[in-house]
Each structure stands twice: as C-alpha cells, then as structure tokens.
Amino acid sequence: MTNPRIEKVNTQIANTKAKISEYQSKLRVLERQKIDLENEGFIALIRSEKISDTELAALMQSLRRDNTESAEAAAPVPVCEIITTRQEEIRDANSKT
C-alpha cells in the first residue's frame, strides 16, 4: 500500500513538470517572435536607407573590423546613425574612384 501523501506529492510533481514544459515551449516561441520582429526592424531600417547589397557588405565588413580593432568599450550608438555614417563613407569612397 502506498502512502497517499506521497501520491499527492508525486501528482503535484508531475503537474509542475508539465507546466514547466509548457512554459519552456511558450518561451521558445516568444523568443523566436522577438528575433523575427528585431530582424524585420533591421531590414526595414536598411531598406529605408536604400543601402545596396554591396554597400551593406562593406558596412558589415567595416563594423567587424572596427569591433576587432577597438578593445575599449564605447557608448552604444544607434544602428541608424551607424548605417547613415557608413553609407556616407562608402559613397564618398566610391565617388573618389
């Protein structure tokens, strides 16, 4: 014969595990939605600046180079400001060639 209190606790454990699993699934869905919305925002920003594929590639390469060259932490700069600045730099460089 099993102890009814132990059975009750086992039932509560099973219910709690089920809820945890449900919340973990829900969390994964919400995190994916957040990433998708962030990506849509970045895409909209890039499109609004009318950056070509070549300019975007140069921008990303420049950002990677800047990040590896700069060891000290800098104050965060809005992405739109970075894109606008880099776009101007790229256009200036292209106009000189």
Dump pLDDT digits (tens) for 54-91. Answer: 888 888 888 888 777 664 555 666 666 767 777 777 77
* pLDDT one-digit tens code per residue, 9-34: 999 999 999 999 999 999 999 999 99
Boundaries of every domain in the chain: 1-48, 51-97
What predicted TM-score, i.e. pTM, was given to this entire model? 0.53
DSSP 13-74: HHHHHHHHHHHHHHHHHHHHHHHHHHHHHHHHHHHHTT--HHHHHHHHHHHHHHHHH--S--
Q: Which residues contact 55 (CB under 8 A, 6 or more apart)?
A: 86, 87, 90, 91
Cα 75 to Cα 14: distance, rounded to the nearest angstrom: 48
What is the reported pLDDT for 54?
A: 86
pLDDT over threshold 90, residue 43: no
Distance from C-alpha of 82 to C-alpha of 33, rounded to nearest angstrom:
25
Please, what's the largest Cα pairwise distance for the chain?
89
Average pLDDT value for the chain:
83
Q: What percent of the chain has pLDDT over 90?
A: 38
> Other CB atoms closer than 10 Å to residue 89's CB: what's the count?
14
